[in-house]
Amino acid sequence: MHIQIVNFNLNGITRDQYEQVCETQFAPAFASVPGLLSKVWLSDPETNTYGGVYTWQDREAMQEYFQSELFQGVVSHPNLANITTRDFAILEQPTRATRGMV
């Protein structure tokens, strides 16, 4: 498995508007991404920081997502600013011991 952490700021859109778009458009699109085991949606309105923690089947699945129209739509979305992404391998045995496996 592989973990990706994405952060960004909202630009020209309220939190309520963003949540509506997430519920009606983004979440259904992400639900069908091959190799994406889970996505946790992050929100810190006090600092205008949003994002997600993605659990991928493997690094290759994440890299295939980077080639998708969905990814291109996210990174070029006019209401998402200062996008950062980091990816991590996981330490499987300690993660299993702490019930972190999906």
Residue 16 is assigned to a structural domain of this protein:
yes
pLDDT tens per residue, range 38-90: 999 999 999 999 999 999 999 999 999 999 999 999 999 999 999 999 999 99
- In a domain? residue 62: yes
Helices (H), 35-99: 59-66, 69-75, 92-97
Which CATH number does the domain housing residue 72 bear? 3.30.70.100
Q: pLDDT band at residue 102, thresholds of 50, 70 and 90?
A: low
Asked if the structure places residue 73 within a domain, the reply is yes
Mean pLDDT of the residues in the chain:
95
Q: What pLDDT is attached to residue 34?
A: 97
Q: pLDDT over 90 for what percent of the chain?
A: 94
Residue 14 domain flag: yes
Distance CA 21, CA 49 (A): 16
| Residue 102, domain member (yes or no) | no
Q: How many CB atoms lie within 10 A of CB 99?
A: 6
pTM: 0.92
Whether residue 33 has pLDDT greater than 80: yes
pLDDT of residue 101: 75
Q: How far apart are CA 97 and CA 92, in angstroms?
A: 9
Domain residues for the domain of 41 are 2-97
Question: What share of the chain has pLDDT > 70, as a percent?
Answer: 99
Could you give the number of structural domains in the chain?
1
Kindly state whether residue 81 falls inside one of the protein's structural domains. yes
With beta carbons less than 8 A apart as the criterion, state whether 49 and 7 touch. Answer: yes
Task: Tell whether 57 is covered by a domain.
Answer: yes
